[in-house]
Structure formats: structure tokens, C-alpha cells
Amino acid sequence: MIQHLCFLLVAVSVALGADATAKPPPKSSAPPKPPPPLVSIDPAQTDDDFPVQGEFVGKMRESDLAIQVVAWGKGLFDAVMCPGGLPGAGWTRQPPARQRVSGRRESVSGAVRFSANGWTASLKGDEIQLQDFKGSAIGKLARIRRASPTLGAAPPAEAVVLFDGKNTDAFKPGARMTADGLLMEGATTKKAFGDCTLHVEFMLSYMPDARGQGRSNSGVYLQSRYEVQVLDSFGLSGENNECGGIYTIAKPEVNMCLPPLTWQTYDIDFQAPTFDAAGNRTTEARITVKHNGVLIHDEVKIPHPTAAAPLTQEGEKGPLYLQNHGNPVRYRNLWLLRK
């Protein structure tokens, strides 16, 4: 009996020792990381949501109606209602806060379905079909693609051509140009300017997963002091920190931002502040802006340099600065006419 117990104790001890030295079972593999947020400056490198977004015009029952469809990533969209027509093209501004209706792209048909109080909508291809909840047709809208009337505006003979796709000679070292002749964000002119008329053409990147100030952010800084915001604000309300806003100072009269990867224009008249012999400011800077041909600021006074301006003290002249905020934005056909 004693010998048998000793044998069992030795066996248990060996077994415990074996367990103590045994390798732990392999851990299960970690779940795959989600793909990085999409950032594209090339229409050929987007996603299935990109061709869905855009502007649509038509009628709901007997009333003119436009809808801006905004892509928010992963098959999600907003339909932003514009009674009377698109911003700058018939929108009645009533109600001032436009109705926003969420929708989702169906995986099988590819159509995007929206549903609101009293109606539903189906977007497929270049058409939106509207129905009431009984299934009766109440309207139809067709896609349109707007273009600024000042795209390609030729500089007057006496204008200073800042960028025409050939080189970055007008800018300080560090300015970058793409292989296809576009100016990249983050460029400052060598020359300083005061009163002027400025023509700028820009294209916002497609960043459907981004929100707010992280959505294709840049800026046109007059004198490197006063920013006209550049941002993908398509379908938003149009605040002073959105596209066309004089950053944190004045919101645009109307949000004229077009969908990303569309060429857009700013045509800006700028009056620099003036100073007396002692250096005291006698008049404030003023700015008038047309965004895609529509007046959004008219002789707006700018009391001080805007937030994040490279130059924080006011002066009679300063260089033009195109902000690098970490998002790809493209510029072309930049010219300036001194006054």
C-alpha cells in the first residue's frame, strides 16, 4: 500500500511538472484592422458612394424642389432639401434650416432609399423618384452638374499671374506642383500685395469618412492675414468656419459649395487696411467674395487677422498664402490684379 501511494505521488508530481512547463495554447489571431479613411483627389480612386452624391432638381407635386445628396461614408447619405431650387439658383430660404433626411445605399440594387414624414425617395443613377406612403408618385428630380461661370477666366493683360500650371516661380521655396500641372496646398507668394482682385480655382478632395474641419480643409489667406475658408461644406448650413466663410468672422450669405472633386472658384475684391503716419489703423480691411459666381460677401469689414493666420499683425501689404491643413486640395489658374 505504501509503495502504491508513493508511486501515485511521483506520478502526480511528474504530471504537475509537465503542465508547468507546457507551452500555452496559441492565442487567437487579432481581428483585422479596418481600412484607413478614404482620402482621394482623383475621381478614379474613390468608392461606390462617390457617383451617388450630387445635386438634383425637379418638382414635388407642383412645387419646385432641389436636393443635395451628401456622402458620409459606408453607404450612408443625407438628402438636403432645397425648396424652390438649389442654393444660388432659386432656393427660397424657407424654412431657413433645411430639412435633412438620412438614407442608405442598398447592397443589391445600389439604390439609395430615403424616408421622411409623408414621403419616400429612391435615388438610382441620375434620378430621384418621390412617392407618398401609399406608393403614389409625387415627384421626380434629375441630376445636374453645375460649373462656375468664371472657370477658366483669363487674366487681364496687366494682371500678375501667380500660377498657370507651368511652374511655381511666383511662390517661395516649398511650393509643390503635381505631375499634371496643379498647385498643391501649402504655398506662399514671394511678392506682397495690398488692394487687389484675386481669381482662384480650387478642387476639394473626397473624404466621406471625415467630419467638420477635417474634411478637405485649406484656406485662401489674403496678405497671409485674412482667411476665406476652403472646406468640403457641400450640403451644410454655411457657417463662418465653412467653405466661403471669412473664418470665425462672417458666414457666407449662401453656401455655394459644390461636391468634392468639382472645380470651384473664388473671385475676391480685397481692400487692405489703411494707416496714418503714426501707424494707427484708420480703416479696416474689406472683402467682397463671389463663390462659383454668386455673391457671398459684400464689402465685409474684417476687424483683425483671422485665427491661425501666419501674419498676426496688420499691415498695408502681405503675401498670398494657400493653407496646408493636412488635407489634399488642388489649385489652378491663380491670378491677381493690383488696384
Residue 188 sits in the same domain as residue 331: yes
Is 31 among the domain residues?
Answer: no
Residue 134 sits in the same domain as residue 165: no
Residue 184 sits in the same domain as residue 290: yes
Residue 128 sits in the same domain as residue 200: no
Is 1 among the domain residues?
Answer: no
- Asked if 37 and 209 count as a contact pair (C-beta separation under 8 A), the reply is yes
The type of residue at 72 is W
Residue 77 sits in the same domain as residue 172: no
Cα 300 vs. chain centroid, distance in angstroms? 23
Is 32 among the domain residues?
Answer: no
Which CATH number does the domain housing residue 189 bear? 2.60.120.560
Pairing relationship of beta strands 119-124 and 329-338 according to DSSP bridges: unpaired
Residue 178 sits in the same domain as residue 297: yes
Mean pLDDT (the chain) is 92
Is 228 among the domain residues?
Answer: yes
CA dist 78 and 103 (Å) reads 6
32 CB-near residues (< 8 Å, 6+ apart): none
The dihedrals phi and psi of 18, each to the nearest 5 degrees, come to -65, -40
pLDDT of 238 reads 96
Boundary-marking domain end, from 116, 144, 172: 144
Residue 50 sits in the same domain as residue 198: no
Residue 329 sits in the same domain as residue 209: yes
Which CATH number does the domain housing residue 82 bear? 2.40.128
Q: Which of 22-31, 120-129, 147-156, 230-239 has the lowest mean pLDDT?
A: 22-31
Is 70 exceeded by the pLDDT of residue 339? yes
Kindly state the average pLDDT of the residues 143-152: 98
Residue 174 sits in the same domain as residue 136: no
Residue 186 sits in the same domain as residue 278: yes
- Among candidate residues 199, 163, 193, the one with its CA nearest the CA of residue 311: 193
pLDDT band at 35 (very low <50, low <70, confident <90, very high): confident
Count: domains in the chain: 2
The dihedrals phi and psi of 161, each to the nearest 5 degrees, come to -85, 115
Enclosing domain of residue 137: 43-144
Is 9 among the domain residues?
Answer: no
Residue 179 sits in the same domain as residue 52: no
Boundary-marking domain end, from 111, 144, 177: 144
Pairing relationship of beta strands 183-184 and 329-338 according to DSSP bridges: antiparallel
CA dist 77 and 113 (Å) reads 9
Is 237 among the domain residues?
Answer: yes
Residue 51 sits in the same domain as residue 94: yes
Per-residue pLDDT tens over the stretch 44-68: 999 999 999 999 999 999 999 999 9
Is 203 among the domain residues?
Answer: yes
Is 37 among the domain residues?
Answer: no
